[in-house]
Amino acid sequence: MPETKFSVIVPVYNVEQYIGDCLDSILRAAKGHDVEIVCVDDGSTDGSGEILDRYSAGDLRVKVVRQRNSGEGAARNSGVAAAIGEWMIFVDADDMVRESLFSTVSAMMRISPEADLIGYRSMGGTGDDPAWPEGKGSVRDVGIKDAIDDVLVRYCACNFAYRRLVFKDIKFPHNQGGADLAYAAKVFAMSKKCLVTDRREYFYRKRDGSCMHSGLTPGKMSGVIRSNVEMFKALDASGKKVGRAFAVWRADGWIEAIPKMILPRRGEPEWNEVWSLWIDSMSEAAKVNCLLGRQRRVAGVIASLRSAWAVRLYCLFISKFGRKDEQEVYRNIGEFK
């Protein structure tokens, strides 16, 4: 049996209002292409399962896999295990794709048949009918055999097509915030050649209750911290050079943005545990060579201080007397009241 060229993996959990739009958009884009759609029902309790059954009964390209509720990462892993295509694409069940998606990816495959990653841009909104921008979009070779290009900084799992045989054994972390980060690092570590286009082929829906826009919890923040540790360890182990923007944007977010979210909540025991986890993660950051020297130095000092007040005073000192590129980064922690 010949391989299906594209396997689209859709994790589904309680999205009965949106899953129809999602599948319709994929099926429109699939016209003229060899596509299977692997929908993983992650224990939905609304009408999502029945909608999936209707689509599956009416179109042989739609395959339904069912599992107990285990989270988006586990659902994506189940979809990868069930996929048979040469290329994998991840689509979230409340999002949509452009009608030209598979044509764009196919054209880029012809430009570089040896590519194992093909990236495209996304756009966000709250409507049901995206106003896709005009333009063909330029194509860049950002081959990451020896280095990870800064253009990949704002990575999202849904912004790439993946050659399945290269990446099929990489797993998404289960029930972990920031799982895309850990997955990305392992993908980038293995990838040899990547093409990207600035053409927007993916629409993510901004809605209350989605994974991206739901409220901050101790569990979610702990997961984000663990994902950052996994990401930078994997990048470091790969030996590939990381662009300055990649190191600055990712690592400064880890070192600065996370405590800014934790500090206001430290009166609660669960958030104290998150603070301890973040402090421990700074010990790991201090060892990672793909971070900038100043980031490793600051992380090492923070890990040794541990106390929230001591960390604030240290960051306040940096914001007043540190290097110019450090001052703004740490001011938010140092001046937190």
Tens digits of residue pLDDT in 159-193: 999 999 999 999 999 877 788 888 999 999 999 99
| Average pLDDT over every residue of 38-66 | 98
In which band, very low, low, confident or very high, does the pLDDT at 213 lie, cut at 50, 70 and 90?
A: very low
In this prediction, residue 335 carries a pLDDT of 54
In this prediction, residue 334 carries a pLDDT of 52
Most confident segment among 85-89, 141-145, 242-246, 318-322: 85-89
In this prediction, residue 315 carries a pLDDT of 81
Which CATH code for domain 6-205? Answer: 3.90.550.10
84 touches 36 (CB < 8 A): yes
DSSP per-residue string spanning 222-263: HHHHHHHHHHHHHHHHHT-EE-HHHHHHHHHIIIIIHHHHHG
pTM: 0.89
| Dihedral in degrees, nearest 10, Cα atoms 243, 248, 251, 257 | -150
| Average pLDDT over every residue of 273-284 | 92
Query: Please, which residues have CB within 8 angstroms of residue 247's CB and are 6 or more apart in sequence?
Result: 290, 291, 292, 295
In which band, very low, low, confident or very high, does the pLDDT at 209 lie, cut at 50, 70 and 90?
A: low
Domain limits of the chain? 6-205, 218-334
In the block, tokens 């600035």 appear at 198
34-48, 88-102, 196-210, 315-329: segment of lowest average pLDDT: 315-329
52-66, 67-81, 93-107, 230-244: segment of lowest average pLDDT: 230-244
In this prediction, residue 332 carries a pLDDT of 60
